[in-house]
């Protein structure tokens, strides 16, 4: 008892899941045992009955599955059931040859029933029935199921790239998240493995049918030899006993084999939808009343022909006519129900209580396209825009320092066919048109000719442009035009708008993701910062201030160091932003003036600096007259800078920089305002224009 208790208390067998894991090894051990060890007739009866029950279970499961993957274990089940039948054939053959001389019940009651009662004890009839079953199984069901599985496996492998691209397209468009994409990829791989396994597993059933024929002939011949030579039976008795036993053994194995083959055919021949095979058959075969009426009429006419079995034909015709009438009434009732629902849609809507599922959240970043631009965002039609948007998000993340939200793309039939609009939190921030199949030739300002085509403007920067055909692309390039395709036009516009509105795209979730990213590499930098030294909202405001003025936030370590140092004493985000800018001065200057070039900037007259400093100290703001003059002179200086091919940068004292940046940002967004404290000591400053002189 102690040994038995220890066996059932093994650590590997304590849970139900671990017991299930032992099913496969135990089944293999049982199959090997049946092949090697002699079994009594009673055990054979139990095993043959289990084999029949297992075949019926497999058939019913295959009938009630709605998709082939719902029974993904079928190839393995097919292998195990085939091995089980063959091992039973080996075990029963041993018993037949050893005990067959004792009578037709030597191999158990199940074999006797199949060999005696089902064929009336006539071994000739048994041989014919057995041969017919083998032919049906081998030539019809197994061969057809194997062919379907082979074609299904081939088409599944051919369609895998398209399905993978479709998943990537839905992921890039924001229709699904990463978890759903991973699940769908796993389903595609599992479906491919299933059809490949079914293609190979069908060969098991075919081999089983051939083995059944060979086993029958071997058993009959060997039984006659054993009966006559070893047990001194006469020829007639030996033929009768061993043939009936062999036929019974063959039938009790071939009938489950036929059932399993039918299940294989059902699995591979069904079309996946939300219905099982029974629902598909009844819903599609008997759904049309006219088919039932016509069939009833034809069968009824055949039933009244002299010499035909009138009762059977007329009975079936009556049943079909009744089914047709029933389906007609059912269709009429369903039509009336639909009409009533269409007449009172408002009442139905009022009767439904509102829920949180009715609340639709706006997308942080979205794009709507007209129907002619769908080809640009459809991966199945080789649309390149999805890939470009994916590259834009990576490029923007590398340039400004955070990952912008996914761009949700959808079609909008209210737009012009070639139009698109870009939205930020549901509000339009940009609109344009693109011509698929054509190229946009952009005039950068110095071209040597004109081009035939539809005149337009670059939606990103407003430069004059022309939509041209692909045939004159090289001519446009030789004339000095910048030539880009339609998807590049839309992608460039989107990239420009993302940079312009980067501050609005940086939400609390993105800031927290940045902190989590920094915490993985430098945990000490963030553990005492938020929320002890500064709140997440204040840190978000600092980062938004930097992005508003075109300063990337890639150097988060420097930003967090400055905030951690000064946040306990200063709570104003604007003052903290100014201190962060000073710490980032080298990077800001390098961004505006790369390659260590001289800083060619616009300066302020000393008198104007004093006036602005006094206005800032008094807190009264800039007088209207002074403000107008300042705007006019600054606009003129910016224009001269741009004409000379230089970026417009205004250099002012540190205390004036926030005031000037806020004052000039709305009218001249391209102007960058830099303070003296932000310029490194090793950079040379050259004033190219003076305001207020």
Distance (Å) of CA 3 to CA 8, 57, 87 = 9, 36, 32
d(CA 210, CA 199): 18
Task: Write the DSSP string, 150-217.
Answer: HHHHHHHHHHHHHHHHHHHHHHHTTSS-HHHHHHHHHHHHHHHHHHHHHHHHHHHHHHHHHHHHHHHH
CA-CA distance, 674 to 652, in Å (whole number)?
A: 6
C-alpha–C-alpha distance, residues 314 and 311, integer Å: 5
Integer Cα distance of 531 and 148 in angstroms: 64
What integer pLDDT is reported at residue 349 of this predicted model? 46
| Pairwise CA distance, residues 422 & 429, whole Å | 6
Which pLDDT tens digit goes with each residue over 511-525?
A: 998 998 888 888 877
- Residues 442 and 479: their CA atoms lie apart, in Å, by 11
- Rounded to whole angstroms, the Cα distance separating 195 from 145 reads 11
Give the C-alpha separation, 331 to 599, whole Å: 83
Measured CA to CA, the distance from residue 300 to residue 292 in angstroms comes to 12
| Structure tokens that stand for 1 in this block | 């008892």
What tokens were used for 530?
A: 């938020």
- Check residue 424 and give left, alpha or beta (phi > 0: left; psi -120 to 50: alpha): beta
Determine the pLDDT at residue 102: 66
**Strand 454-457 to strand 649-652: parallel, antiparallel, or no bridges (unpaired)?**
unpaired
What is the edge-to-edge ordering of all strands in the sheet holding 649-652? Answer: 672-675, 649-652, 599-604, 685-691
CA dihedral of 609, 615, 619, 621, whole degrees rounded to 10: -100
Burial class of residue 137 in the structure, from the number of CB atoms within 10 Å of its CB (0-12 exposed, 13-18 middle, 19+ buried):
buried
d(CA 650, CA 160): 57
CB contact at 8 A, 241 and 223: yes
pLDDT value for 264: 73
State the pLDDT at residue 5: 43
Two structure tokens written together for 19: 């017991």
CB 577 within 8 A of CB 542: yes
Residues of the chain below pLDDT 70: 1-21, 23-24, 68-69, 99-123, 126, 130, 137-162, 172-174, 195-196, 198-206, 209, 212-213, 230-232, 239-241, 243, 268-287, 338-353, 381-382, 620-621, 693
Angstrom distances, CA of residue 498 to CA of 173, 365, 441, 668:
16, 9, 23, 18
User: Bridge partners of 603?
Assistant: 690
If DSSP codes are grouped into helix, strand and coil, which group holds residue 668? coil
What are the Cα distances from residue 370, in Å, to 414, 418, 434? Answer: 8, 6, 10
Q: Residue-wise over 638-660: b if at least 16 C-beta within 10 A, else e?
A: beebeeeebebbbbbeeebbbbb
What are φ and ψ of residue 567, in 5° steps? -60, -35
Q: From CA 612, how far away is CA 622, in angstroms rounded?
A: 7
Cα R_g (the chain), whole angstroms:
42
Residue linked to tokens 């009556």: 318
- In what helix (H) or strand (E) does residue 649 lie, and over which residues does it extend? strand 649-652
Single out the residue of 115, 134, 119 nearest to residue 245, CA to CA: 115
CA-to-CA distance for 262 and 505, rounded, in angstroms? 59
* DSSP string computed for 538-607: HHHHHHHHHHHTT-----HHHHHHHHHHHTTT---HHHHHHHHHHHTHHHHHHHHS-TT--EEEEEE-HH
Return d(Cα 371, Cα 385) in angstroms, integer. Answer: 15
Number of other CB atoms surrounding residue 31 within 10 Å = 19
| 79's tokens | 């292998």
């Amino acid at each position: 008892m102690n040994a038995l208790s220890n066996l059932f208390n093994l650590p590997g067998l304590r849970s139900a899941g671990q017991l299930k894991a032992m099913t496969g090894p135990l089944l293999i051990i049982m199959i090997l045992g049946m092949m090697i060890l002699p079994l009594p007739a009673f055990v054979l009866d139990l095993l043959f009955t289990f084999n029949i029950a297992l075949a019926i279970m497999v058939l019913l499961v295959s009938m009630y599955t709605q998709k082939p993957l719902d029974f993904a274990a079928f190839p393995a089940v097919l292998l195990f059931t085939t091995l089980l039948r063959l091992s039973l054939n080996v075990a029963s053959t041993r018993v037949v040859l050893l005990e067959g001389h004792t009578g037709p019940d030597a191999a158990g009651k199940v074999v006797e029933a199949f060999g005696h009662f089902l064929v009336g004890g006539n071994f000739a009839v048994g041989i014919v029935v057995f041969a017919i079953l083998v032919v049906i199984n081998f030539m019809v069901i197994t061969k057809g199921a194997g062919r379907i599985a082979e074609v299904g496996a081939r088409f599944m492998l051919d369609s895998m790239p398209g399905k993978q691209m479709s998943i990537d397209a839905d992921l890039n468009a924001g229709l699904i998240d990463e978890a759903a994409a991973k699940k769908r990829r796993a389903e595609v791989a599992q479906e491919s493995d299933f059809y490949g396994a079914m293609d190979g597993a069908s060969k098991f059933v075919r081999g089983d049918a051939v083995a059944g024929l060979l086993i029958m002939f071997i058993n009959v011949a060997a039984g006659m030899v054993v009966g006559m030579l070893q047990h001194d039976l006469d020829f007639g008795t030996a033929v009768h006993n061993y043939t009936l036993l062999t036929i019974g053994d063959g039938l009790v194995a071939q009938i489950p084999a036929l059932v399993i083959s039918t299940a294989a055919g059902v699995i591979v021949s069904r079309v996946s939808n939300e219905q099982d095979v029974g629902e598909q058959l009844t819903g599609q075969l008997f759904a049309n009343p006219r088919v039932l009426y016509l069939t009833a009429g034809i069968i009824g006419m055949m039933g009244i022909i002299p010499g035909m079995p009138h009762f059977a034909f007329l009975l079936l015709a009556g049943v079909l006519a009744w089914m047709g009438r029933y389906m007609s009434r059912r269709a009429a009732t369903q039509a009336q129900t639909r009409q009533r629902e269409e007449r009172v849609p408002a009442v139905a809507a009022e009767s439904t209580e509102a829920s949180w599922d009715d609340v639709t959240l706006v997308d942080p970043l979205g794009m709507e396209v007209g129907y002619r631009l769908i080809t640009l965002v459809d991966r199945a039609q080789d649309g390149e825009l999805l890939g470009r948007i994916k590259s834009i998000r990576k490029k923007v993340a590398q340039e400004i320092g955070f990952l912008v939200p996914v761009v949700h793309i959808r079609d909008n039939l209210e737009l012009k066919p070639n139009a698109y609009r870009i939205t930020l939190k549901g509000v339009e921030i940009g609109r344009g048109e693109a011509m698929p199949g054509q190229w946009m030739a952009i005039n950068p300002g110095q071209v040597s000719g004109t081009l035939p085509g539809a005149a337009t403007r670059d939606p990103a920067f407003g430069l004059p442009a022309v939509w041209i055909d692909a045939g004159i692309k090289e001519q446009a390039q030789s004339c000095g035009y910048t030539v880009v395709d339609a998807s590049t036009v839309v992608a460039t516009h989107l990239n420009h708008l993302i940079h312009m509105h980067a501050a609005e795209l940086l939400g609390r979730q993105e800031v927290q993701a940045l902190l989590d990213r920094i915490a993985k590499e430098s945990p000490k930098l963030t553990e005492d910062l938020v929320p002890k030294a500064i709140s997440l909202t204040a840190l978000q405001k600092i980062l938004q201030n930097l992005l508003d003025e075109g300063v990337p936030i890639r150097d988060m370590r420097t930003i967090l160091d400055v905030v951690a140092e000064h946040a306990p004493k200063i709570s104003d985000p604007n003052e903290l932003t100014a201190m962060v800018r000073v710490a980032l001065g080298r990077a800001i200057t390098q961004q505006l003036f790369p390659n260590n070039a001289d800083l060619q900037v616009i300066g302020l007259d000393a008198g104007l600096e004093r006036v602005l400093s006094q206005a800032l100290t008094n807190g009264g703001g800039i007088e209207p007259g002074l403000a107008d003059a300042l705007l006019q002179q600054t606009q003129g200086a910016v224009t001269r800078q741009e004409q000379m091919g230089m970026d417009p940068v205004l250099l002012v004292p540190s205390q004036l920089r926030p005031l000037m940046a806020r004052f000039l940002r709305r009218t001249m967004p391209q102007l960058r305002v830099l303070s003296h404290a932000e310029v490194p000591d090793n950079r040379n400053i050259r004033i190219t224009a003076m305001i207020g002189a």
